[in-house]
Structure 1
Amino acid sequence: MSFIKRNEIKKTIYEAVLIIAAAIYLIPFYIMFTQSLKSPQETMMNPLGLPHVFQFDNFKKVWELMHFEVAFMNTFVLTLVSVVGIALISGMCSFTIAKRKAKGYQYLYYVFVCGLLIPFYMTLSPLIKLMKDLNLVDSLMGLSLAYIGRGVPFAVFLYVGFIRAMPHEIMESAVIDGCSPSTLYWRIVFPMVKNVTSTLIILNTLWVWNDFLFPLLTLQSASTKTIPLAQYMFYGMYSSQWNLAFASYLLSIVPLVIVYFFMQRSIIQGISTGGVKS
């Protein structure tokens, strides 16, 4: 058997394994999609088969019962403020830490790194207590501040490494040409770390959008519920109606699927480039 034929056989085997793995991975999505389009009786009698009659009214019922538009706007605002805040604060802070020669800035960097070493659940109780003392409980802006504080250490860790690797000659030339520190950052440095910024935006968006525990502990009124929290409460009320429960699951993931569909190239490039410093 020739070398080329052996490679073709190996390639075929790898592709078959990947196809089987993808099919297994998609089974839960198939069940969720088909169950969301069935009647309550059919979900019990025919759980794995295709629906005989597509019940698209399930999504309309879920939308009205969940008040999905309110939960969506709350989640969108919370995610937008948190992600933008993390990117802006950590980027400017990292630029100062990376390019200042004083030892105090290096110690400040170590303080941020220590934020990565402390487990989140160890800080959860004192953080909730602090938010209560500052009247930030049951507030989307208060919760966004907590997300920013939690996300900045990792962002600083990434930004500092990339900014330190930049050629000093570029920044020195900009300073000689009369660039102020703010102009130097926004015109020179920030465009050069766009891949890191893309990575952080993607990872933090997935984190904040899908987070359940923190909103559960801090958001109390119905007007501030996020999508995961509203979906959880909906399931608790309608757990016996699996068709509505699965329809609520599908509605909850649709926004992220749409974002990924339009940004998949940026997502792959940002994560692959941001994961390895060049």
Structure 2
Amino acid sequence: MTRVAAGRDALRAHLLRTRLAGPAVPTPRQNNLRHYRLFAQRDPKALMGLDPERAWDEDAVLALMAERVGVDPDPRYTEGPDTIDPELTLAGLDRLAALLRRTADARGSVLVGTGHPLKLAGFHGALARALEAAGCTVRTPARGLRFREPTPDGDRTRVLDQVGAVTAVRSLDGADARGRIGSGELLHTHSAQPVRLALTALAEAGHTPPDLLLGDHGWLCGAGRLGIPAGGLADCNDVAPFVGEAEGAVAVVVPVDDGSAPASYRPLSDYVLQQADLAPYKA
């Protein structure tokens, strides 16, 4: 067996063991269908900053998510566990690796942010550090800016650092068990406001837009909507990134559970960097 095949087999086993992908991922079917319905209704939070080119009804959303994620395609299946196809996860990671390789070859500039700072910052940060070591410039705009986001309890003020933006992504591996760094709470958000703030700050500083955006949720969709090549992870209930990919706005979306233990994503980032030839192979 070749080294690449062995690494792929080991990662597939890891995905199944940790339920990052497989026949019973943590997000249940009823949650998926609720989010599919909200996207079809063009709920702003479900859109994550995307402006879809076409109308997507619930049947079309389910068909897309079955194709790109591997969820059960039967609309009559409404409750119970749902699926992320590990082969689709692996294929997405391969596409993400190719995107990183192209960026590294061009010595491009990179912007990194996440709406899942406690869970996914380590994954994104590992890729950013490898690109920086390969000669890319990791941009760090707008750190510390505040924005307001509607919540069920009313508008909430958030700080860009606290949703895992830019330079903060480098230090999030050191978060404690409560999900804090220093005095800041690590906040989960689907909003595209953080990437818009970061891109505005770049422009105001005289920089061109980044050549690559690494992220998830609104970071992917907000950047993709503005024509910036964007790649990252999305869960089986996150429709907008996959619609963005299908419509050509988002470059690469990897289907994977996005709420698992941070350490469980380390084999995924190792695999991407191995495939991109940005880090030595680890047995």
Q: TM-score, normalising length from structure 2?
A: 0.28
Which has more strand, going by share of residues?
Answer: 2
Whichever of the two has the greater Rg, that structure is 1
With CA pairs under 8 Å and 6+ residues apart, which has the higher RCO, 1 or 2?
Answer: 1
Q: TM-score, normalising length from structure 1?
A: 0.28
